[in-house]
Amino acid sequence: METRRALQVDAFTDEPLTGNAAGVVPDADGLSDGQMQAIAREFNQSETAFVLSTGSADRRVRYFTPKQEIELCGHATIAMHAALAENGDLDVGDHTLETNVGVLDITVEEDDTVWMTQSQPAIREVDVDPVEVADALGIDPAALTDIEDELPIARATTGLPFLIVPVTFLEQLGQADPDMAAVEQLSEEVDVTGLYAFTFDVLSAQATLHGRMFAPRAGVPEDPVTGTASGATGAYLRHFGAFDTMPDEVLFEQGHFISRPGTVRVRVGDQIQVGGRAVTSFDGSVVVPTLDEDEILEA
């Protein structure tokens, strides 16, 4: 039977078994949609990146959750480039990546940090009841209503849309107990991938904010460390004037409440850039399924 090399790479960290794990298939040419979906389901990580050849950029990627294909994934992008660089298949410098949302610029630095330039942001306030959002997240409604006059709940995207939800204190965010059915319904109503709740109350003195991201609509109950949501939130902070002067770079911490701590560097300038490091925690192979396409997709 056919096998392909398969990696598990922990992104937004330099410590194995922390950060956000992504599946990476470095050579996915020839795999069908159903085969990629089945492999992603077997990995059972929030996302698996399938690296493909293309004539439009240095390489192409497709991202699958265990449930479905998604348009963009920050941590899997960081993971795949870090793994390719570690394997000697990618040099330090600038590269291009074709995704379902267009061709993105990628930079690999000497210290192994990978930077991903995201799409231009689109941000708008949404007409949602803060109490409904709080109930969906399992958070005291006061944690949202106390801050909504300063920072509103809003839909933000830099390639993948999220509902950005400010929370007053870390304790309230840490005690969140989401109703996943309600989070999924709310995500569908405002047409977002998931809810990214954040607070400026942080664990590390170096961090700008602490975030948690819930995306049951995409088959990811809670994502440990989310690059696309971090980029969208960086753009959100600038859009709503969260700082007197927007810093050149901010640092977001995430994943601590599910024992997968990591950090995301975000640059908010003419372009939104998300950066971090990654480490390979598993290097092996996967047997490519030969099931009928329809059978795989309906499993």
47 part of the active site = yes
- Does residue 41 sit in helix, strand or coil? helix
Distance in angstroms (rounded) separating the CA atoms of residues 276 and 86: 14
Tell me how far the alpha carbon of residue 33 is from its chain's centroid.
Answer: 21
Q: Which residue has the tokens 């995201």?
A: 118
According to DSSP, residue 216 is labeled G
Instruction: Report which secondary-structure segment, H or E, holds 149.
Output: none
- Does residue 288 sit in helix, strand or coil? coil
Strand ranges, E, within 228-277: 249-254, 262-268, 272-276
Candidates 2, 15, 42, 47; catalytic one? 47
Distance in angstroms (rounded) separating the CA atoms of residues 16 and 143: 34
49 in Cβ contact with 24 (< 8 Å): yes
Distance in angstroms (rounded) separating the CA atoms of residues 221 and 211: 14
227-239 and 74-86 helices, crossing angle to 10°? 130
Closest to 272 in 3D by CA, of 144, 194, 174, 160: 160
**Catalytic residue list:** 47
